[in-house]
């Protein structure tokens, strides 16, 4: 950007039109909170991002800290009572003014419920807005729904006398934004199809001048940020609404239907881009991939399937249907069979995993690892070419290379109070149905007899048997 921009994201609202245990900003679109979509785009064009939180503020601040880091957490602003978007910006400016002396600063205001917004649109808008102290993005909608109507002077003059419809030729001279409910009261028989996207670029100085003048005398009894347009216009401040054609990317998400529509649009955009880059998607309508995922050309994915977060999949890997993969890196030429669940894990090259394998956080598989059905790996490293093929739990463990873990082996890592580590060294062969009571180490080349409960370390090259000898008694 040619000049520094401070962004304010408004995320304090409850989302009354979308009842949920989560605040609206945390509703997900393709597995990522709407706030994350907006935050990531804001990050690409702005150094400082302030997020206004209010309803269930703790949930949002926790989320920001976890997903966008300490800086995002430190730049949250509490709007204790949600008195409207204008009030939210008032709260933000109070804090921003405390942190800066530069009154010429440009402030970009974004709603958290516009998840399809793109860097391209914002960059274009910022370039167009350079010489205006106040501007915003508008869009044309055949159904203006609950959006604020952009009233240009021509409309205001005409509609005073006769009901009318504002047309495209009504360019320039923005007079004010009229919120949907107020519009219906003030102009019951008129229509405007140019609406406010809720994205504004404003000089800090203009906000500081006009925010104190906002009133809540309107149909919602709220302080509207949109009122600064009319107030600035009355003082002859140069302002403009830039009408963008890509309306889909600017739509607000206020209810479950709009959430569905936003998801569908984004899904189609992402999948089309992946396919044009050489990723093969079978049944793409049922494949949901978040925009933060990286997938190399030559990967093949069968739907239905979900891949979210900062997942990365290298070339020639195949992912069969019904897999859910979050924040997981998968190497080259792996085969991930159906019904696998991976989260916060790392998989090397040439792995064969599943069906029904589960990788939990901090599972790290080296190259050539095989995991079979109903195998769960948590916070463990599995070495090169090791196999855990059936019904096993490996937790808090380090497993060497060329280890064979027999069916039904369990690392007993938890004594009810604390967690302990199991180490299984290279080339060990663990018979079926063994329990390893941690902390415990199995030495290199050790053979553990089936059904053993191992409580003591075993030296290298031994045969460990820890079970009752079988007795065959004569039947009576």
Distance CA 268, CA 37 (A): 16
Distance CA 454, CA 448 (A): 9
Note whether 10 binds ligand UD1 by CB under 6 A: yes
Return the range that interacts with ligand UD1 (CB under 6 A); candidates 6-14, 302-310, 391-399, 422-430. Answer: 6-14
The size of the interface with ligand UD1 (CB under 6 A), counted in residues, is: 32
Residue 146 CB, nearest distance to Ca ion (Å)? Answer: 8
Note whether 179 binds ligand UD1 by CB under 6 A: yes
Note whether 425 binds Ca ion by CB under 5 A: no
Task: Choose which of 68, 75, 87, 106 interacts with ligand UD1 (CB under 6 A).
Answer: 87
Return the range that interacts with Ca ion (CB under 5 A); candidates 35-43, 47-55, 105-113, 258-266. Answer: 105-113
Residue partners of 251: CB distance under 8 A and separation at least 6? 114, 116, 258, 261, 262
Residue 293 CB, nearest distance to ligand UD1 (Å)? Answer: 25
Return the range that interacts with ligand UD1 (CB under 6 A); candidates 140-148, 279-287, 328-336, 457-465. Answer: 140-148
Distance CA 63, CA 48 (A): 18
Tokens at 121, concatenated:
């649109």
206-265 positions binding ligand UD1, by CB under 6 A: 224-226, 252, 254
Task: Choose which of 84, 86, 115, 252 interacts with Ca ion (CB under 5 A).
Answer: 252
33-52 positions binding ligand UD1, by CB under 6 A: 52
Distance CA 96, CA 92 (A): 6
Task: Choose which of 105, 113, 343, 425 interacts with ligand UD1 (CB under 6 A).
Answer: 113
Residues 211-250, mask of contacts with Ca ion (x by CB under 5 A): ----------------------------------------
Q: Give residue number: closest CB to Ca ion.
A: 252
Task: Please report the sign of the dihedral spanned by the C-alpha atoms of residue 259, residue 261, residue 264, residue 268.
Answer: negative
Please report how the helices 57-74 and 34-45 are oriented relative to each other, as an axis angle in degrees rounded to 10: 20
Tokens at 185, concatenated:
């009261």
Residue 226 CB, nearest distance to Ca ion (Å)? Answer: 12
**CB nearer to Ca ion: pick between 37 and 288:** 37
Nearest to 375 by CA among 349, 340, 326, 333: 340
Please check whether residue 310 is in contact with residue 289, taking contact to mean a CB–CB distance below 8 angstroms: no
Task: Choose which of 36, 79, 350, 386 interacts with ligand UD1 (CB under 6 A).
Answer: 79
For residue 92, the cross-strand partners are none
Is 282 noted as a catalytic residue in this protein? no
Task: Choose which of 105, 113, 227, 263 interacts with Ca ion (CB under 5 A).
Answer: 113
Nearest to 393 by CA among 372, 382, 409: 409
Q: Which residues of 249-262 are buried (b: 16+ CB within 10 A; e: fewer)?
A: bbbbbbbeebbeeb
Strand pairing of 387-390 and 447-448? unpaired
Residues that are catalytic? 390
**What are the residues binding Ca ion (CB under 5 A)?**
113, 252, 254
**What are the residues binding ligand UD1 (CB under 6 A)?**
10-13, 24-25, 52, 54, 79, 82-85, 87-88, 111-113, 146-148, 177, 179, 195-198, 224-226, 252, 254
């Amino acid at each position: 950007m040619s000049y520094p921009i401070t962004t304010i994201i408004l995320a304090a609202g409850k989302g009354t039109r979308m009842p949920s245990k989560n605040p609206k900003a945390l509703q997900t679109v393709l597995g990522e909170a709407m706030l994350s979509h907006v935050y990531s785009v804001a990050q690409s064009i702005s150094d400082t991002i302030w997020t206004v939180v209010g309803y269930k503020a703790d949930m949002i601040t926790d989320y920001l800290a976890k997903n966008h880091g300490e800086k995002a957490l430190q730049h949250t602003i509490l709007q204790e009572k949600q008195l409207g978007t204008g009030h939210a910006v008032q709260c933000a400016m109070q804090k921003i003014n405390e942190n800066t002396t530069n009154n010429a600063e440009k402030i970009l205001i974004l709603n958290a419920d516009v998840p399809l917004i793109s860097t391209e649109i914002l960059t274009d808008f910022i370039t167009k807005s350079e010489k205006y102290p106040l501007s915003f993005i508008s869009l044309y909608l055949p159904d203006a729904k609950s959006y604020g109507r952009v009233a240009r002077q021509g409309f205001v003059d005409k509609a005073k006398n006769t009901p009318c419809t504002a047309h495209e030729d009504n360019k320039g001279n923005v007079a004010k934004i009229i919120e949907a409910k107020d519009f219906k009261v003030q102009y019951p028989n008129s229509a405007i199809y140019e609406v406010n996207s809720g994205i504004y670029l404003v000089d800090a100085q203009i906000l500081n001048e006009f925010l104190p003048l906002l009133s809540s005398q309107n149909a919602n009894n709220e302080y509207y940020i949109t009122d600064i347009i009319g107030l600035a216009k009355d003082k002859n401040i140069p302002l403009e609404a830039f009408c963008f054609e890509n309306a889909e990317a600017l739509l607000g998400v206020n209810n479950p239907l709009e959430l569905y529509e936003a998801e569908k649009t984004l899904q189609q955009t992402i999948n089309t881009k992946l396919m044009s880059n050489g990723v093969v998607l079978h049944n793409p309508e049922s494949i949901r991939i978040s925009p933060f995922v990286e997938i190399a050309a030559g990967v093949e994915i069968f739907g239905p399937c979900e891949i979210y977060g900062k997942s990365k999949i290298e070339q020639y890997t195949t992912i069969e249907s019904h897999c859910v993969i979050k924040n997981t890196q998968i190497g080259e030429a792996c085969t991930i069979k159906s019904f696998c669940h991976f989260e916060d894990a790392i998989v090397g090259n040439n792995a064969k995993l599943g069906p029904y394998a589960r990788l939990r956080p901090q599972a790290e598989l080296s190259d050539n690892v095989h995991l079979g059905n109903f195998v769960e790996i948590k916070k463990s490293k599995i070495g090169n070419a090791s196999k855990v093929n059936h019904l096993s739990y490996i937790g808090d463990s380090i497993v060497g290379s060329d280890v064979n873990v027999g069916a039904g082996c369990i690392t007993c890592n938890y004594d009810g109070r604390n967690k302990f580590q199991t180490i299984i060294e290279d080339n060990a062969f663990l018979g079926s149905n063994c329990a390893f009571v941690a902390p415990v180490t199995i030495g290199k080349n050790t053979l553990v007899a089936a059904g053993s409960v191992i409580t003591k370390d075993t030296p290298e090259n031994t045969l460990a048997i820890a079970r009752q000898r079988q007795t065959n008694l004569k039947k009576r």
